[in-house]
Amino acid sequence: MSGLLRIALKLLLNDRGKFVTLVIGITFSAFLMTQMTSMFSGILHQSAANIINVGAKMWVMDPAVETPQNSIPLPNYVLDAVRSIPGVKFAVPLYIGAGLVKLDDGTYQAATIIGLDDATLFGRPTMIAGHILDIYKNNAFIMVKDANYPKLNSPRIGTSFEINDHRAVVVGLAHTAIPGLFGLPTLYTTYTRATEDLPPTRYQISYILVEPKSRTDILPIEAAVHHLGYLALTDREFIARNDRFYEFKTGMGTNILMMTLISFFVGLSIAGETFYMFILDNVEHFGALKAIGAKSRELIQMIVFQALVVGFLGFGFGVLLSSGMIALAKLKIPNYAAMVTYLTLVLALVMVLIISIFSSYIGIRKVTRIDPFDVFRG
């Protein structure tokens, strides 16, 4: 490190009070920003649970569907029409719906029912107990063992209950990649049984899952489905559509954006103000440095360095704090949605850098304007 930067660092560190205020201010701001954005990306991630857990490459849906949380049933002819599109390797129906489970003790619990295509069981979960083929047995359901599993009184193989007044028997336990957002237990069964046991509407296909022959077939399939009056999306596109829904159409995104901005401005004002006072305290000495022969560029380097040091320290502590909090919360609350991603980190880093740049900018303005002659005159 150059001697000047070393001097800059000493000036900063030795002003204990302001240094601590600066770091705490930025830490707090970075902590809140990461916390907010992590919470939101966790929500987005879990709200896409069905898309990720089923794992189909393409999804066909009614154009009004915005999120896998609800679906609009498709008429059966669409399945045949999709199957006849060139480039479609295979297409199968999927049922996603809500069922009302009546437990042994007489209480009710809502659950997500997923009905897999009878012929292929495409989109099946990973089994951890029992065999997937048992799904074909009478009244058979496979229960996902996630954070919501205890809500059905932690059933074992052979446990039975009622779903929408039909008898249901648990024949296996399964594991899925991520739990859903709304804390509902998930039960898998066959498409036929799902559509029989749940209150029938005229149409029953929630989604058609499509496996294209190759990647190049994706665009033509999307065009052909569009021609049918429906919407085909790849899994990524569907997740993005779901993200946009939560970001812009639920009020959740706006609120979190506002909270993030508020945290940013709180950090900006604390750090900006304190840094300005720090520079003011030293401004005459910077003027003396100028008189002695420091170039403006060197003074700017010192100030930017000081602002970056507190910025990175605050960012580091803030991220540590929020990751720690999230990890702790996840231990205690199995369904806790927050998730620190690269994006949330990059976002917080960019915001913190803006705080640093802003703070050093006001410091630099002050310092480049001092006239060494005024310092000399005392």
In this structure, the dihedral spanned by the alpha carbons of residues 163, 166, 169 and 175, taken in order and rounded to 10 degrees, is -30
Tell me which stretch binds other proteins (CB under 8 A): 37-45, 61-69, 285-293, 333-341. Answer: 285-293
* CA distance to 72, 75, 124, per residue, from 201 (Å): 10, 10, 24
* Size of residue set near other proteins by CB under 8 A: 30
* Residue number, 235 or 298, with CB nearest to other proteins: 298
Which one among 127, 252, 259, 288 touches other proteins, defined by CB under 8 A?
A: 288
Mode of pairing for the β-strands spanning 140-144 and 58-61 = unpaired
* Rounded distance between C-alpha atoms, residue 157 and residue 104, angstroms: 15
Question: 3 with 269: CB under 8 angstroms?
Answer: no
Q: Does 54 bind other proteins (CB under 8 A)?
A: no
Tell me which stretch binds other proteins (CB under 8 A): 39-47, 102-110, 291-299, 345-353. Answer: 291-299
Residue 49 neighbours by CB distance under 10 Å: 22
Q: Does 372 bind other proteins (CB under 8 A)?
A: yes
Q: Does 377 bind other proteins (CB under 8 A)?
A: yes
* Residue number, 135 or 364, with CB nearest to other proteins: 364
Which one among 66, 292, 329, 358 touches other proteins, defined by CB under 8 A?
A: 292
Q: Does 294 bind other proteins (CB under 8 A)?
A: yes
Shortest distance, position 39 Cβ to other proteins, whole Å: 40
Residue 254 neighbours by CB distance under 10 Å: 12
In sequence order, what DSSP letters do the residues of 177-208 get, joined into one string? Answer: SS--TT---EEEEEHHHHHHHS---S--B-EE
* Residue number, 12 or 143, with CB nearest to other proteins: 12
Beta bridge partners of 170: 141
Tell me which stretch binds other proteins (CB under 8 A): 54-62, 95-103, 286-294, 335-343. Answer: 286-294
Beta bridge partners of 167: 162
* Residue number, 2 or 120, with CB nearest to other proteins: 2
Contacts for 200 with CB less than 8 Å, ≥ 6 apart: none
Residue 215 neighbours by CB distance under 10 Å: 9
* Contacts to other proteins from residues 296-315, by CB under 8 A: 296-298
Q: Does 354 bind other proteins (CB under 8 A)?
A: no
Shortest distance, position 284 Cβ to other proteins, whole Å: 6
The token duo for 300 is 């700017």
Q: Does 332 bind other proteins (CB under 8 A)?
A: no
Q: Does 282 bind other proteins (CB under 8 A)?
A: yes
Q: Does 285 bind other proteins (CB under 8 A)?
A: yes
Provide, for the chain, the percentages of residues in helix, strand and coil under a 3-state DSSP scheme, each rounded to the nearest 5. 55, 20, 25
* Residue number, 121 or 288, with CB nearest to other proteins: 288
Where is 126: in which H helix or E strand?
Answer: strand 126-129
* Residue number, 156 or 285, with CB nearest to other proteins: 285
Site string for other proteins, 1-40 (x = CB under 8 A): -xxx-xx--xx--xx-------------------------
């000047």: which residue's tokens? 4
* Residue number, 167 or 295, with CB nearest to other proteins: 295
Q: Does 375 bind other proteins (CB under 8 A)?
A: yes
* Residue number, 4 or 52, with CB nearest to other proteins: 4
* Residue number, 1 or 331, with CB nearest to other proteins: 1
What angle do helix axes 235-248 and 252-292 make, rounded to 10 degrees? 80
Q: Does 280 bind other proteins (CB under 8 A)?
A: no
Which one among 129, 266, 291, 325 touches other proteins, defined by CB under 8 A?
A: 291
Q: How many helices (H) and strands (E) does the chain have?
A: 11, 10
* CA distance to 124, 262, 294, 341, per residue, from 300 (Å): 61, 29, 10, 34
Q: Does 378 bind other proteins (CB under 8 A)?
A: yes
* Residues making contact with other proteins (CB under 8 A): 2-4, 6-7, 10-11, 14-15, 282, 284-285, 287-298, 372-373, 375-378
